[in-house]
Amino acid sequence: GQQVMQIPQYQHVQEGEDFTTYCNSSTTLSNIQWYKQRPGGHPVFLIQLVKSGEVKKQKRLTFQFGEAKKNSSLHITATQTTDVGTYFCAGLLLGGNTGKLIFGQGTTLQVKP
C-alpha cells in the first residue's frame, strides 16, 4: 500500500546542534505537511508544501519538498530545548472529495541542554 517513510526514528542532539529529518513516499504526493507533537500532547500543524522543489522557512526551521514530490525534509538550525518532540511528515493522497493524509513514522528529537 501507499506508505510514507521517515528517518531517523530518534535523534539526540546537544543544544545548539542542527537536526534534520527526512521523509520519503512510495508515490507522488499532492502535498506534504509537517506536524510537531510534544510529549503528552497532540499533533500541531507546522507547515504545508505544495509545489515541486518548494522551500519554506520558519525562523530556525527549513522545509523542503523534492522535485519529484516524493520526498521532503525538515532542518532545524541551532536546536533549543523547546524543539523537543516528535516531528511527523504527512502526505496527502487524493480520495473522493476529501484528502487522505498518511503520516510518516515520526522522528523523536531529544535536546540535551
Partner 1 sequence: DTEVTQTPKHLVMGMTNKKSLKCEQHMGHRAMYWYKQKAKKPPELMFVYSYEKLSINESVPSRFSPECPNSSLLNLHLHALQPEDSALYLCAVKRAGTEPGELFFGEGSRLTVL
Sites of contact with partner 1 (CB under 8 A): 30-31, 33, 35, 41-45, 48, 50, 88, 90, 92, 94-106, 108
Is 7 or 50 the residue whose CB approaches partner 1 more closely? 50
The three three-digit cell numbers of residue 64, written as one number: 523542503
48: which strand partners?
A: 33
- Minimum distance from CB of 16 to partner 1 (Å)? 26
Q: Least separation, in Å, of the C-beta of 10 and partner 1? A: 10
Q: 30 vs 58, which CB is nearer to partner 1? A: 30
Residue 89 and residue 103 in contact, taking contact as beta carbons nearer than 8 Å: yes
| Amino acid symbol at 38 | R
CB of 101 to partner 1, least distance (A): 6
CA 13 to chain centre: 17
Chain centroid offset of residue 1 CA: 20
